[in-house]
Amino acid sequence: MQIFEIKTTQKIEALDITYKVEKIIKENKINQGIILIFVPHTTAGIIINENADESVIKDIKNTLEKLIPLHGSYQHLEGNSAAHIKAGILGSEISLIIEDGRLALGTWQGIYFMEFDGPRNRKVWVKILGN
C-alpha cells in the first residue's frame, strides 16, 4: 500500500488527484491490474467525474451545499454533521482498471478528493493489484 498526503485550504474543496494516482502506477511499473483508492476520513470523500470543465465540480459542490447545508438541526456536537453526511453520500473508496500502464478512465473523467471539513491535512491510501 502507498499513502500520499493532501493539504486542503478551504472548508469545502475538490482536488483533482488523477495525476498523483497515475504517478504511483508509473513508479510501480504496473501494466495491468486494479487500483483501489481509499480516503480514511469521515468528513472527506472521493469521486470520479468530469475534469475538463471545472464548472462541473463547482456545480457538484454547490448542489451538495444546497441539499446538505453547513448549518442545520444536526445532533452531532462537533458541528460538522453536514461534512459527515456529504462524505457518506459520495463514499470513501473507488476502484479502477489499469490497462496498458494507464488508468482506464473515460475521456473527460478525473479522480477528485472531496474535502467537506477543511482546511486539514489528509491522506489517501492506494493499493494496486496487478503486474
3 close to 126: Cβ distance less than 8 angstroms = yes
Q: 83-104: per-residue pLDDT in tens? A: 999 999 999 999 999 999 999 9
The confidence band for 130, taking pLDDT boundaries of 50, 70 and 90, is confident
Indicate the domain borders of the chain: 2-130
- The grid coordinates listed for 100 are 496498458
In contact, 113 and 6? CB cutoff 8 Å: yes
Element of type H or E holding 19? helix 18-27
Architecture per CATH, domain 2-130, reads as: Sandwich (2.60)
**Looking at the whole model, is its pTM more than 0.85?**
yes
